[in-house]
Chains A and B, each alone.
Chain A
Amino acid sequence: MKARVHVMLKNGVLDPQGEAVRHALGAMGFDGVNGVRQGKVIELDLADGTTEATVNEMCEKLLSNMVIESYTVEMS
């Protein structure tokens, strides 16, 4: 089984990389990009039976820093 973890900076935390991408898109002529937020996707290949609760624990202990980031988990 697999889990896909999305880690994003929380709202209110400045994302200078996203801002740089937004500027670049504007400079390339793509109008109307009001904001860009850049995050991470982490794919986990898991032993059968691993629970979503365990993946949440992994997120809170290592994969995301809860001071600045939030996460979502998709199990499949």
Chain B
Amino acid sequence: MHAAVVVFPGSNCDRDLAVAFEAAGAKVSMVWHKDTKLPDGVDIVGVPGGFSFGDYLRCGAIAANSPICNEVKAHADRGGYAIGICNGFQVLAETGVLPGALLRNVGLKYICKTVGLNVVTSQCAYTEGYSAGDIIDIPIAHHDGNYFADDDTIARLQGEDRVAFTYTENPNGAKGDIAGILSANKRVLGMMPHPERAADAGHGGTDGQALFRALSGILTPA
């Protein structure tokens, strides 16, 4: 598996994500936001957490219009795998690769804590290592994680088995308790919680490990 991790000015989970991919057996290339091409043979693109471009204008909006994001979008349009975590989810929503948007948390506070997630589906490359109905503990750290989409979109996501994770206790007001969603072909995952921060015993939790391990099994080396 060859993973590319995109780095924007203000990304701060890029190296954590790279470590999680490497621990799962991936070769990792870091890609700068001004790059106009992904490395050859990339199987999966990781869009990391952080505060790209200082969250100016809207979280993820400026990053979504950076040169590399045209490539990330083209990669996803070709059926390539991509995972956006936290700010990365905001970026993928802003590019339109994933539907909806992330609004300010209902309580207006930045929330940094470990939360319970329901694994809603195990029918995708990312969640194969879990069983539907599992509850896993994964940290969140965001100010704008309140998932919003119109009712039709929410119903479609639910009807097409494209909700990957929901919160056991909704921390931010997200519609349908949604913590993570999949693209129509289920190859793009966007999620607010940070599985890469629960991927090593030293993190205090390892419930995120199965996500990265499942990927390495499915994506054959390029």
Contact = CB atoms under 8 A, between A and B. Distances in A.
A63 B149 CA distance: 19
Contact of A67 (B57, B104, B146, B149): B149
Contacts of B58: 65
Interface of B: 57-58, 61-62, 65, 93-94, 99-101, 103-108, 146, 148-149, 173
A14 B173 contact: yes
User: Shortest 4 CB-CB distances between A and B: which pairs?
Assistant: A67-B101, A68-B101, A16-B106, A16-B108
Contacts of B93: 67
Contacts of B57: 62-63
Summarize A's interface: helix, strand, loop or mixed.
Answer: helix
A19 B146 CA distance: 15
A62 B103 contact: no
Contacts of B101: 65, 67-68
A61 B58 CA distance: 12
A25 to B, nearest CB: 16
Contacts of A27: none
A67 B60 CA distance: 14
A50 interface: no
Contacts of B99: 67
Contact of B106 (A14, A62, A63, A68): A14
B103 A14 contact: yes
Contacts of B65: 61-62
Contacts of A33: none
